[in-house]
Structure 1
């Protein structure tokens, strides 16, 4: 059974995240478990997540899930905008709630960090050559 779609294609926050994520070398988008997932060979970001509280899931529909270095992850978990997502949190992922007031420069930096952890050396070199 396929997962139901758990996002609004017209969501402007998804549009902003999509624009940033698809700007990375060879980045593409697919639907994974009902959410947009941005990937090369491996996923480097998801849109939308949840946390499990007392056996029930609390959805964070407008959030970015990213995979960052452990030290940075621990610092971000002290921020009220961040959460440990169900299922993926145990593998090092973190969720960042997005709003109209989001610092999109910060989001782009976090996407960059996640991309670098998942994309492989050839793609990271391509990214670095773009930014010189």
Structure 2
């Protein structure tokens, strides 16, 4: 039985998350478990929307971005109250950022998505990203 779709194209922040995520080499979007996910090319590097069960009850974060975090960055991100531990994904190094918790800094979101992409993408895609980035500076 497929999951129900749990987003609308006009959801807060989704267009910006799409613009950022789809700007990475060979990035694509699909719907997984009822939510938009962004892949590089077959591995997910960003989710839009999620839930947490850290307090024992399920709390929905429909307007959030879920990223894979590096082991060095994770402790600092976990101290930031905007972040949450996403259900099912948290134990695998993923963190969610509630886009409604504060004014959104889209440059920060882009950096977080970049970190996540680099943790799942192939060396070839990372090299392509680095080469493209070097050409713009």
Matched with 1:6 is: 6
Matched with 1:66 is: 67
Matched with 1:104 is: 106
Matched with 2:28 is: 28
Which runs of no fewer than 5 residues in structure 2 stay unpaired?
Answer: none
Q: CA deviation at 1:53?
A: 5.0
Q: What CA distance in whole angstroms lies between the structure 2 residues aligned with 1:104 and 1:15? A: 12
Matched with 1:81 is: 82
Indicate which of 127, 130, 134 corresponds to 1:128.
130
Matched with 1:47 is: 48
How has the CA–CA distance of structure 1 residues 53 and 127 changed in structure 2, closer, same or farther, with 3 Å as cutoff?
closer
Moved over 4 A (4+): none
Q: CA deviation at 1:55?
A: 4.6
Matched with 2:91 is: 90
Partner of 2:53: helix, strand, or coil? strand
TM-score (norm 1): 0.95
Matched with 1:56 is: 57
More off after superposition, 52-61 vs 89-98: 52-61
Q: What CA distance in whole angstroms lies between the structure 2 residues aligned with 1:50 and 1:85? A: 6
Matched with 1:17 is: 17
Q: CA deviation at 1:46?
A: 0.1
Pairwise CA RMSD = 1.3
Q: What CA distance in whole angstroms lies between the structure 1 residues aligned with 2:12 and 2:84? A: 21
